Structure 1
């Protein structure tokens, strides 16, 4: 019990000074000054009134000349008992009699002469006692000091609001690290159980954690603790989530901050914060330091970026390199960093001995997406008909953050419909909402435009139905979504490589909408902008990057370092550039002719599907099979072809 009492005493927060005491003291000072001021209740009179009404009646007991400015007149005691002077009282604090009247005098000599002449005139045998006193007028002094005090209080409040906490506070500590420290005793809400997928990354992280907890198992074999671990991957793949899970599992001090927090407007602040961060980490070793978005300070310092140089950022990077290089004894300190722009990081930062390990986090596979869905579906009340495997199949290329967004959007849709549980249809609508945008049924489209849109989407559907290497078609819609007027929804295969024939069929299906407009209406519109953009980029990738063109040959101008994007000009000659443009044009026109032949052959089916879309606005798989017949399907995933608004 004694231990608990001691711990309670230690845990008590120190008592803070109450500012209301200052206000109370000021009020007390004003009241005291008022009562101590002898002339505060005295009545001011002129010399003529004093001479004729008081001095003539011989009522004066004494006169006190205060600070050579005021003559305080005290009336005799027996005169104070008259009815006229009953209101005159004593000071309630000191008990002394107050002066009853006072006169503002110009000069002491003049007042004395007047008084002496008056006394002789009224033949008074008793001379009036005159005293000279000097005292400080506290009220005037207070009123003089008050403006300066208010200015001082105002600036102290401003400094406090800025986070200064007074002179010598945080305002003068801008060179200190702003890293957030997770205490060992504080249980983190995120653990490795909350991180679905990323099996290889979790294995490496568990090895690092085991090194921190049991270093003797490794050091006895001569192994050294890794200094830095770099997490690289597209946005939303779980880099920060993995770091938070490490904080929950490590049970060691965990410092976390963003790369942008190192750079401030003051010169030298970034390097100072790096030093202070590693100083704190070494004092609490073994510990983990996590720097999110390290590319904010770790950008490359090559000549190409010379015109974008930032001395403050480079000084911060140099200090970080020095800390990682081992000029200080960083034993037991592991640095984690996350970025989705590893190509722009400085080479000195990535070399062995600094960031020893690079962990690449890729977009999740179908099996990993099932695990991610199961994690995010735990807090959601869902119906039994929700098929997690189907949801994973319909979300290829989705990151963990995208899947979390789908689950949340489905719950919002169900709540909007006043449902008690979320069903499969809500998840399908959430997927369509995220991929294609919000439905805009209120968008006004003329009958002619709607007819063009219907034949455009029917062209995509018919062309893809009869092409071998195009993914299975799920549904066709002419309901406007986002910036698109219609869309064809596919289930693409989840594959790692794409063959030349697959590229050809995809380009051919993408041009089906424009070809259908030309066949049916004998003219073309601007609605195929999105399709043409995709086809053109795909053709250039085939010719200039993947080396799939026979005329250009097996040559690739793809640059994984990103240097070509930062220089003026192209990495190939003018003649080769003309050849690439020619081959791209031939490739696209060949596929356009091919899709026109397919749609001309199946023109009746094209028109029938378009009429169905005009009536129902949406054609699902069953409707497509009734018109186009059965089609062989593979293990497929999900994408869309949109008719873009221009």
Structure 2
């Protein structure tokens, strides 16, 4: 019985994971092949004239008419003359030269193109008089409708219709009805019914305790609504997930789909916007109609900023009526005149500042959950989640990895773990070690090593002193992050790099800003001290320094001359304006103060390097020798960092 059931299951087309295409399993292309084959056979069968040899007037006159071999002539559509030869004359040798099929049967046996009927009749009459023919040739006239000509007129229209059917099928892509002709106004949301197997659950989400608690409560609303409605509470209509890219917004929604035992509709915001007017609003209506029919249910709209951008006056020159009508329909469905019970809307975006205020108000999206970049403790939990499928060595220190990856999002940590596994596999290891994770971190941050890049000895010498300048200055400044290693191996676009262990700060003081600027200027200052000229290698450093200085002066109000004034716009409205939010006189003052600030920091940096020039020389020579200098070598040349800072403070 088991064998038979397995056999039946194998033969059952419904058990096949890949459903058969239409038209007997050969796809729609098979239908087109049969259609064109039928048209070709029809053409050959209905156009017998292609088997009849065409002759000229002179041949007809000399060989046929003069010998009185012609039985009759049929003029078709006043264009073609079909010539019939008498049956008793077909055995003549001159008629056997052509294909036998053309001279068999009752004819026609030959065909001739005539210019006009009157001219043809006059020529025929004159020829018969010249040949003194007693028996005149019978001439008949016929009008025939050629299906080939009809198809010739219909074929272009048919091709246009087929092209539009093909385009509309593509635009209706992926719908359950196969993308029919008028189905492009229907919603393309993916439906996950109750009992659908989804691998992601809340156990796969780490480091987002508060956000996960909020979202889990939404799932509990749908599972146990009476617990809340008994107290007179209303279930929230919408939850907005906002945060930087890679922080787990879509992952959170997938976990809701895996945990909630209700229908789950998933759709991207860009799928509402189409080239046809009214399609977006139609898809919104269809989506909520389907969700209400299966209530209680959840709708998830990913990247909602594609359709929910603000309708303010600043967008008047780039307004999109189709997008705005789609947004208006979405606002109406979320909280309009009609009831919308039993449907909870989840939305995700990394640009909450550009969303329309009417979309964010309570009653539409009652809860706003902001997913921030994970802290060190949260990164430890995220590392543990992504390390589950890896074969780890005992040398792996999760706490150290979390400490070495500040500012990493959940997606960055997942990428780092995968890169570490790839590096270990490339080295043919059986386990992923701590060294593999560190190399993966360097690759994710700085790019792949480019040891094959050829650098001249002179350029390599400049790069060595440049990176040594960064290291020496940062080592002797209190508010700069701890230095881990220095490298002059090209990686990505950079020719060298200094690696730090950043501290997680919520606020930054003016002295910390100044020390960071000095550390960034250390490379250029070292080049000027050693080589008496600077190079273009400090471009990236100067760009970073200039941005930090303008931020201090114009945003954070840390300049004494400008005072506690900030021109920062958290709403993003000023970014769309042509002018700046301050006068020309204020702009000159800001430029002057920024220049003075950077100049002071640069002089301070040069003084530090001049005081420790011997350390700069020793570290640069060690870099030229080893190319990579780690923490132990740095301490052997520069001393313990805490002691160096203590000595500096005692000198003061």
TM-score, reference length from structure 1: 0.78
Does residue 495 of structure 2 align to residue 495 of structure 1? no
2:150 to 128, 145, 148: 145
2:623 matched residue in structure 1? 613
Does residue 572 of structure 2 align to residue 562 of structure 1? yes
Does residue 542 of structure 2 align to residue 537 of structure 1? no
2:647 matched residue in structure 1? none
Q: Measure the CA separation in 1 of the matches of 2:233 and 2:582.
A: 48
Q: Measure the CA separation in 2 of the matches of 1:75 and 1:596.
A: 117
1:452 to 459, 462, 469: 462
Contact 2:380 2:402 in 1 (8 A): yes
Q: Measure the CA separation in 1 of the matches of 2:334 and 2:210.
A: 25
Does residue 196 of structure 2 align to residue 190 of structure 1? no
Q: What is the CA-CA distance between 1:618 and the residue it aligns to?
A: 1.1
Does residue 479 of structure 2 align to residue 474 of structure 1? no
Larger RCO, structure (CA 8 Å, separation 6 or more): 1
Contact 2:171 2:184 in 1 (8 A): no
Contact 1:34 1:40 in 2 (8 A): no
1:264 matched residue in structure 2? 274
2:98 matched residue in structure 1? none
Q: What is the CA-CA distance between 1:490 and the residue it aligns to?
A: 0.6
1:598 to 608, 612, 630: 608
Cα distance, 1:439–1:74 mapped onto 2, change above 3 Å = same
2:163 matched residue in structure 1? 158
Contact 1:543 1:549 in 2 (8 A): yes
Select between 570-579 and 189-198 the one with higher mean Cα deviation.
Answer: 570-579
Q: Measure the CA separation in 1 of the matches of 2:61 and 2:516.
A: 113
Select between 500-509 and 21-30 the one with higher mean Cα deviation.
Answer: 21-30
Q: Measure the CA separation in 1 of the matches of 2:74 and 2:598.
A: 111
Contact 1:456 1:513 in 2 (8 A): yes
1:627 to 607, 619, 637: 637
Does residue 235 of structure 2 align to residue 230 of structure 1? no
1:296 to 306, 312, 316: 306
Instruction: Give the number of aligned pairs.
Output: 611
Contact 2:168 2:184 in 1 (8 A): no
Q: What is the CA-CA distance between 1:228 and the residue it aligns to?
A: 1.5
Cα distance, 1:276–1:119 mapped onto 2, change above 3 Å = same
2:441 matched residue in structure 1? 431
Select between 228-237 and 319-328 the one with higher mean Cα deviation.
Answer: 319-328
Q: What is the CA-CA distance between 1:613 and the residue it aligns to?
A: 0.8
Larger Rg over CA atoms: 1
2:529 matched residue in structure 1? 519
Q: What is the CA-CA distance between 1:564 and the residue it aligns to?
A: 3.1
Q: What is the CA-CA distance between 1:597 and the residue it aligns to?
A: 3.2
Does residue 187 of structure 2 align to residue 177 of structure 1? yes
**CA deviation vs aligned residue, 1:326-360 (integer Å, no higher than 9, x gap):** 32221111122111111121211111111111010
Q: What is the CA-CA distance between 1:396 and the residue it aligns to?
A: 0.8
Q: Measure the CA separation in 2 of the matches of 1:33 and 1:593.
A: 97
Contact 1:75 1:100 in 2 (8 A): no
Q: Measure the CA separation in 2 of the matches of 1:198 and 1:148.
A: 66
Contact 1:218 1:224 in 2 (8 A): yes
Cα distance, 1:576–1:75 mapped onto 2, change above 3 Å = closer
Q: Measure the CA separation in 2 of the matches of 1:100 and 1:311.
A: 67
2:175 matched residue in structure 1? none
For structure 1, which runs of at least 5 residues remain unmatched after alignment? 86-90, 122-130, 634-646
Contact 1:66 1:72 in 2 (8 A): no
Cα distance, 1:272–1:612 mapped onto 2, change above 3 Å = same
Q: What is the CA-CA distance between 1:49 and the residue it aligns to?
A: 8.6
Cα distance, 1:177–1:607 mapped onto 2, change above 3 Å = same
Q: What is the CA-CA distance between 1:316 and the residue it aligns to?
A: 2.1
Contact 2:68 2:133 in 1 (8 A): no
SS at the partner of 1:230?
strand
Q: What is the CA-CA distance between 1:621 and the residue it aligns to?
A: 0.7
Supply the RMSD in Å over aligned alpha carbons.
4.7
1:367 matched residue in structure 2? 377
SS at the partner of 1:502?
helix
Contact 1:233 1:239 in 2 (8 A): yes
For structure 2, which runs of at least 5 residues remain unmatched after alignment? 54-58, 96-100, 173-177, 644-652
Select between 593-602 and 279-288 the one with higher mean Cα deviation.
Answer: 593-602
1:285 to 290, 295, 317: 295
**CA deviation vs aligned residue, 1:195-234 (integer Å, no higher than 9, x gap):** 3322222211111112123322222221212122111101
Q: What is the CA-CA distance between 1:470 and the residue it aligns to?
A: 2.1
Q: What is the CA-CA distance between 1:171 and the residue it aligns to?
A: 4.7
SS at the partner of 1:485?
coil
2:220 to 210, 215, 231: 210
TM-score, reference length from structure 2: 0.78
